[in-house]
Amino acid sequence: MTPLLIIAPLIGAAIAFPLARLTGRACGWLCAAIPMAAFVYLLRVLDQLDSSTAAHLVSFPWASAVGLELSMRLDGLSIAFGLLITGIGTLVCLYADAYFQHDPRRGRFLSYLFLFMAAMLGLIFSDNILVLFVFWELTSVASYLLIGFEHEKNASRQAALQALLTTGAGGLALLVGLILLGNAAGSYNFTDIIGTHGLQEHPHYLAIVLLVVAGAATKSAQFPFHFWLPNAMAAPTPASAYLHSSTMVKAGIYLLARLSPALGDTDVWFWLLVGLGGATMLVGAWLSVQQSELKPMLAYSTITALGTLVLCLGLGTPLAIKAFKVFLFVHAFYKAALFMIAGTLIHETHETRFERLGGLGRIMPLTALSGLLAALSMAGLPPLLGFVGKESIYEAVLYTPVAMQILIAVAVLANVANVYVAVAVGLFPFWRSRGTHAPVKHEAPLGMLAGPLLLGLLGLSAGLFPTALGKYLLTPAGVTVLGKEMVFDLKLWHGINTAFLLSTITLALGVTILCFRKPWLRITAPLQFLHRIGPEAIYHGAVNSMLGLSRLQTRFLQHGYLRYYLLVILACTIGSVSGALHLKVPESTLPMDTLRLHELLTVALIALAALALTRVRSRFGALACLGVVGYGMALLYVYYGAPDLAKTQIVVESLSVVFFALLAAAMPGFKELTSASVRRRDGVIAALAGGLMGVLVYSTLASDQTRPIAEYFRENSLPLAHGRNVVNVILVDFRALDTLGEITVLAVAAFGARTLLRLRSKKRSAS
């Protein structure tokens, strides 16, 4: 059953496209059955997990010779993530169905969505870290396809590439980190790695942590790699709600949580993650209150939330892990809901700025209700789950042994930004008197309502009865992260304590900034220059200089001039081969044989004709020289016992000369195209290369001359092939296939030449 978790979405990816063609309306509802079934299955597995069987393991051999297994691990942590992926996946399917109601691209979108779902489920359920890595990269690919979904827009393509390059670079770091980790632990399985003690003292510990955290930071949009996430909002809103808020960006968080029992509990881990998370929270908070467009606002607040999760993991105390788990769910609930609501608003009004929206509460009461629930949860108001989440974060920070004051300030500022975004996206458009957008006539369709409403109600009921959530879902997950027993007792109301006071301050500050938005933007305007020197500017600089470098080296190495390629090849060959020849000059010399005058004359004539060919100016002169060389060669073949060669050479030479005369001779003479110095340079190189060939032939002749193959043909020509001319027998019998190849070459050349000639005559007759 378990592998179906990954296989079923893959099947979904394959059938979504034809299904959308066939069924039209109901496609999304049919597709939603797949994640729904997975969700129910995961709930059942979770129910069976108890303290004695902390993890449900399934394993299949893959490449057992190198110790690779397709093993899956279903434990508290992975099931918690799995429930989010399948649960929200179900709702996003329904949402996408309505969002792309009259759009032919619906099938393609759902197909990509399922591809992503399969990759993401594979990522969290892999027990083997190398298999995890494969799925990790697959999620990047799926994200690339979804961000660039509207590929006709340049901005979408750029954003997709940026996300791919950033997460891909992090992925490379992660791969190295995982291999180091696997070697250090002696196993590539999480089950063994988590059970390994003393990894913190391993000499590669620092490198492993830095590389793994780098991979996680790019995937989860931590500062300074956060810039790709707001740009990824170019994706259609259902994808943003799914990938870029509640699931994919949490892959890095998942990996850190998964490895924290093995790698955590050191100063490096603490300061690295707390610093990274804190910085990301501040950057995300700052940028989100500068925004007025709905989706980028939510994206920046997602960055804040991801920073919060990393911070909690870094703190690593039981309270912090509790906050981590609660906030993971809180954030997924309200952020997916708010993204869907933002998508609905943009879809209905074609307006992306929140301050232009208003008065929608009366027309879209149900959307307004879900907006209210999500916004209150995000702002951290009771009795929603968001309140429990925020209180537990404050609690975790308040009981931190070091740097308490700074962390409290960071947490408060991050939540102030959350309040701001929550009110701006979830309340403003519905409860303000009226906006400046095009009028909206009706409520959103059922598919677009189901997701936000259900998530909002979940947030409400989980806030009212937090004990159930804590007991069934958070306790097993927390045990996995912390590596020891712990009990979650979530309560909605803790009484008036420090955490509650901080909540009140947060709320007041957030609403204040929103009320004095214009003066606030004016005051902070001088700080806009930071965008020009920030990490995104560095990214663009790096990409541009890379392109420049490749253009430069292409122009240098791949210039396209045959003669310079040849010059370089010849010069290199002369250099290297003559060096090698110098080392071993053959000892023996050629035996002196008799010289004959007519043979010498023929050789001299050919050589002179070849030399003249290099200097000749007229086409007919070239033709004459060529003829002398060719017929001279035929004579040489006659002298040295090769009548067949001589005959062939004469026929071919005659044909060549005829061709040459027909095609090239009746044209004006050669022009002088190159300067004398260039000709001299080429002459020297060509002479050296020719000389080198001569030396090579000489040393071949001077060395051993046994002819083991020839004897076979000589002896068997008559008995086996019944032919007296051994050369002919070789060609048509012993090596007949070679001759067939030769004929094929000739046929292809003939067809090619004929086509070119016909092209020419057609053109001529046309003109």
Partner 1 sequence: MQISLVLLIAVLFGCGFYLLMRRSFLKVILGLMLLSHAANLLVFTAAGIVRDAPPLVHDSMSAPPAGSADPVPQALVLTAIVISFGITAFALVLFRRAYDVLGSDDIDELRRTET
CB of 727 to partner 1, least distance (A): 5
CB of 648 to partner 1, least distance (A): 5
Angle at 592 between CA 590 and CA 597, to 5 degrees: 125
Residue 568 interacts with partner 1 (CB under 8 A): yes or no: no
Residues 22-81, interacting with partner 1 (CB under 8 A): none
Stretch that binds partner 1, among 117-125, 274-282, 390-398, 670-678 (CB under 8 A): 670-678
Query: How, if at all, do strands 68-75 and 55-63 pair?
Result: antiparallel
565, 556 Cβ separation under 8 angstroms:
no
- Taking CB under 8 A as the criterion, the residue among 66, 496, 533, 595 binding partner 1 is 595
Tokens of 242: 């799914």
CB of 547 to partner 1, least distance (A): 22
Cβ distance to partner 1 smaller for residue 472 or 712: 712
Q: What are phi and psi of 353, to 5 degrees?
A: -100, 135
Cβ distance to partner 1 smaller for residue 203 or 591: 591
Residue 176 interacts with partner 1 (CB under 8 A): yes or no: no
To the nearest 10°, the Cα dihedral for 569, 572, 576, 582? 100
490, 388 Cβ separation under 8 angstroms:
yes
**Alpha carbon separation from 225 to 218, 282, 538, 633 (Å, rounded):** 5, 14, 11, 71
Report how far apart the first and last C-alpha atoms of the chain are (Å, whole number).
72
Q: What is the DSSP letter of 590?
A: P
Cβ distance to partner 1 smaller for residue 362 or 763: 763
Residue 497 interacts with partner 1 (CB under 8 A): yes or no: no
Cβ distance to partner 1 smaller for residue 430 or 713: 713
Nearest to 197 by CA among 486, 478, 483, 480: 483
Residue 686 interacts with partner 1 (CB under 8 A): yes or no: yes
Cα atoms found within 13 Å of the Cα of residue 479, Cβ hemisphere only: 20
Q: Give the separation between CA 697 and CA 695, rounded to whole angstroms.
A: 5
CB of 740 to partner 1, least distance (A): 11
CB of 606 to partner 1, least distance (A): 6
Q: Give the separation between CA 380 and CA 459, rounded to whole angstroms.
A: 11
Tokens of 653: 């030479």
For 490-506, give the secondary structure using H, E and C: CCCCCCCCHHHHHHHHH
Residues 378-437, interacting with partner 1 (CB under 8 A): none
Give the per-residue contact string, 501-540, with partner 1 (x = CB under 8 A; - = no): ----------------------------------------
Q: Give the separation between CA 98 and CA 367, rounded to whole angstroms.
A: 14
Residue 576 interacts with partner 1 (CB under 8 A): yes or no: no
CB of 706 to partner 1, least distance (A): 10
Burial class (CB in 10 A: 0-12, 13-18, 19+), 122: buried
Residues 544-563, interacting with partner 1 (CB under 8 A): 560-563
149, 235 Cβ separation under 8 angstroms:
yes
Residue 471 interacts with partner 1 (CB under 8 A): yes or no: no
Residues 648-667, interacting with partner 1 (CB under 8 A): 648-649, 652, 655-656, 659-660, 663-664, 667
Give the per-residue contact string, 714-753, with partner 1 (x = CB under 8 A; - = no): xx-xxx---xxxxx--xx---x--xx--x--xx-xxx-xx
Stretch that binds partner 1, among 100-108, 223-231, 579-587, 685-693 (CB under 8 A): 685-693
Nearest to 321 by CA among 488, 447, 202: 488
- Taking CB under 8 A as the criterion, the residue among 532, 641, 675, 766 binding partner 1 is 641
Cβ distance to partner 1 smaller for residue 366 or 727: 727
CB of 746 to partner 1, least distance (A): 5
Residue 172 interacts with partner 1 (CB under 8 A): yes or no: no
Site size with partner 1, rule: CB under 8 A: 97
